[in-house]
Amino acid sequence: MAKSKAKRMRDKLTREGRRNPELGRSPFAAADLRTRRTKTKQELLNQSKHKQKNLISYYGEDGSFLLARSSSACHIYEVGA
């Protein structure tokens, strides 16, 4: 297999007694730091459970509400119920 131009330059610097640029690389440069795992059965069930969350019980039929402010308090009224 052929050497790349960068690899040839690094080899030339090493032959001439100069410092090899590969030594300046971080040890984490080639490492894959991501943790990979498959989801458990419980995680898959929880994921689908929260996607089908029913908002009718919180905000009424169409999910709308009215926020009214008075001088002393804030009142919430359901609309369309």
pLDDT at 58 over 60: no
- Calculate mean pLDDT across residues 61-72: 61
Of 74 and 7, the structure prediction assigns the larger pLDDT to 7
- The pLDDT > 70 percentage for the chain reads 58
Tell me the mean pLDDT in the region 49-78.
Answer: 59
Task: Estimate to the nearest angstrom the gap between the alpha carbon of 29 and the chain centroid.
Answer: 21
pTM, two decimals, is 0.34
Give the pLDDT band (50/70/90) at residue 69.
Answer: low
Query: Is the CB of residue 56 less than 8 Å from the CB of residue 80?
Result: no
Q: Which residues pair with 66 in a beta bridge?
A: 77
Distances (CA, A) of 78 to 39, 56, 62, 65, 73: 39, 11, 10, 5, 17
